[in-house]
């Protein structure tokens, strides 16, 4: 059983920000094919802002809920765009899901993770199959829940989530976009991975590594 405290969550945001900076140009290039080529910039900017905001908190005096709300607000105000409301809602829902807890056990983290996916889906009103980030987030959340129920620990559950996210992102290549900016492309979006799904894989993988290794 892993115990995740506020300091570990601060480290998680630092890890996501680092991963996003490394991935920025690939995400911009993916977005350039079917969108407006700024997705990597927005994601790097948002997670850098979240990293800096949570790093400034006093971890001793901050619970996970406050930390996640701080991350949400700083991400949103740095970015706007589409990813701002989507990830801000994800972290606000995550904050609500672990309200009252000072540390998080395996089940809490999976609940937090599932709340993020639900938040993104509710805010963006996308369903799986519409070639958006939800095609990575929804199967990842489901896989994490199933793995935990089947007796896996947090590492096993997030491993399942990361694999499902990756498979989901790959599957967007054969989807026609019907939501978001790429939806105006119709069939021309075929064959290209959705940049939002691609960045979701990066976020989820960074969370996995930061929380379980």
Binding stretches for other proteins (CB under 8 A): 25, 28, 32-38, 41-42, 45, 76-86, 123-124, 179-185, 188
In angstroms, the CA 14 to CA 55 distance is 8
Residues 6+ apart with CB under 8 A from 109: 2, 4, 154, 158, 211
Q: In terms of CB distance, is 114 or 132 closer to other proteins? A: 132
Residue with Cβ nearer other proteins (3 or 77)? 77
The least CB distance from residue 87 to other proteins, in Å, is 11
For other proteins, the closer CB: 48 or 111: 48
The least distance separating other proteins from the CB of residue 86, rounded to whole angstroms, comes to 7
Q: Specify which residues 104 forms β-bridges with.
A: 4
Which 3 state secondary structure label does DSSP give 104?
strand
Query: Cβ 2 to other proteins, closest distance in Å?
Result: 34
The residue among 99 and 188 lying less far from other proteins, judged by its C-beta, is 188
Note the residue count of the chain: 213
Give dist(CA 133, CA 187) in Å, integer. 18
Residue 189 Cβ, how far from other proteins at the closest point, in Å?
9
HSE (CB half, 13 Å, CA atoms) of 77? 10
Minimum distance from residue 89 beta carbon to other proteins (Å):
9
Rounded to an integer, what distance in angstroms lies between the CA atom of residue 94 and that of residue 101? 12
Secondary structure of 142-157 as H, E, C letters: HHHHHHHHCCCCHHHH
Nearer to other proteins, 76 or 162 (CB): 76
């Amino acid at each position: 059983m892993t115990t995740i405290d506020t300091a570990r969550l601060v480290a998680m945001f630092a890890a996501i920000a680092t991963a996003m900076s490394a991935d920025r140009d690939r995400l911009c290039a993916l977005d350039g094919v079917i969108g407006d080529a700024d997705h990597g910039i927005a994601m790097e900017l948002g997670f850098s802002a979240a990293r800096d905001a949570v790093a400034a908190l006093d971890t001793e005096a901050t619970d996970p809920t406050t930390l996640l709300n701080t991350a949400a607000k700083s991400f949103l105000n740095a970015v706007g765009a589409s990813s701002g409301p989507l990830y801000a809602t994800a972290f606000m829902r995550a904050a609500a899901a672990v309200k009252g807890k000072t540390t998080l056990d395996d089940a809490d983290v999976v609940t937090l993770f599932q709340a993020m996916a639900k938040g993104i889906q509710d805010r963006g009103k996308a369903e799986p199959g519409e070639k958006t980030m939800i095609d990575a987030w929804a199967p990842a959340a489901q896989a994490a829940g199933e793995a935990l129920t089947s007796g896996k620990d947090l590492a096993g559950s997030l491993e399942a989530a990361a694999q499902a996210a990756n498979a989901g992102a790959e599957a967007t290549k054969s989807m026609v976009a019907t939501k978001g900016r790429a939806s105006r492309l119709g069939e021309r979006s075929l064959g290209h991975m959705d940049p939002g799904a691609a960045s979701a894989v990066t976020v989820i993988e960074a969370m996995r590594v930061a929380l379980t290794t």
